[in-house]
Amino acid sequence: MSIHTQARKVTTQTLQEMKHAGEKITMLTAYDYSLAKLVDRSGVDIILVGDSAANVMAGHDTTVPITLDHMIYHAQCVQKAVDRALIVVDMPFGTYQGNSRTALDSAIRIMKEAAGHAVKLEGGSEVVESIERILTAGIPVMGHLGLTPQSIYKFGTYTVRAKEDEEAQKLITDAKLLEAAGCFAIVLEKIPSGLAKQVSESVEIPTIGIGAGGDCDGQVLVLHDMLGITTDFSPRFLRRYLNLEEQIEGAVKQFCEDVRAKDFPNQDESY
């Protein structure tokens, strides 16, 4: 039986074992109770309460504005729904950069108030002090390298990162640094697949890719993107498994028509 099937609760240890056994790890985002319940029941290994909630839940252009209170609220909703998956909560912009004490306080709030299982931080050497401090409190940390959306105003675009040798070398060094610091996994976002393969082979901890090719130890997508609820975002790496936009709009139009035609509610739907 696979490690995935055997695990009644996914832990950081389960993920490590999956990497060593060559079993791919699955991760999806969720931000609310109802969808988190469906995602967990469907057997995903990691549920990420991503700061992409800033985009898909709140309609912001970037992930920068979301606050720690917002993230804790989303994580609380998700936590109530999840029995099996490991819940990783993104630390929002401004809660860990530059001050490891603030980072620790923010991570502790996530663990205490939302009962998350782990936190995720964007960046390499720039944030390693914060990562180390959070780890001293026994809080598991997932790293995130490559395209780090919280730094959008530094990059200027959401295009593929680390195509040039210098940036690729820094990414490899950062991945090793995060592993040595004690991170249990690293997200690799939007980098060339050859580089992602090289990183995945040079660290013992699992890599989870998004737009980073098929050689990462696992894959992550934003749930609303893969379900086709958000359709204004269409990067090459995104596979849409449903077209819910069309189905939801169709259902809402039908409801309006039925009410206007005095067809809803009918006798059977009334008391």
Catalytic residues, by residue number, are 189
Q: How far is the CB of 262 from ligand KIV (least distance, A)?
A: 44
Q: How far is the CB of 122 from ligand KIV (least distance, A)?
A: 8
In this structure, what token pair is assigned to residue 29? 């985002």
Give the residues lining the site for ligand KIV (CB under 6 A).
Answer: 29, 48, 50-52, 90, 187, 189, 210, 220, 222
Residue 5: half-sphere exposure toward Cβ, Cα within 13 Å: 2
Q: Choose between 103 and 221: whose C-beta lies nearer to ligand KIV.
A: 221
Q: Choose between 134 and 145: whose C-beta lies nearer to ligand KIV.
A: 145
Q: What is the distance between the alpha carbons of residues 149 and 93, in angstroms, rounded to a whole number?
A: 10
Q: Choose between 18 and 48: whose C-beta lies nearer to ligand KIV.
A: 48
Q: Name the 3-class secondary structure at 171.
A: helix
- Angle at which helices 100-114 and 128-136 cross, to 10°: 50
Residue nearest to ligand KIV (CB): 50
Q: Choose between 7 and 145: whose C-beta lies nearer to ligand KIV.
A: 145
Of 25, 23, 32, 30, the residue nearest 47 (C-alpha): 30
Tell me the residue ranges of DSSP E strands in the chain.
25-29, 46-49, 86-90, 118-120, 141-146, 185-189, 207-210, 218-221
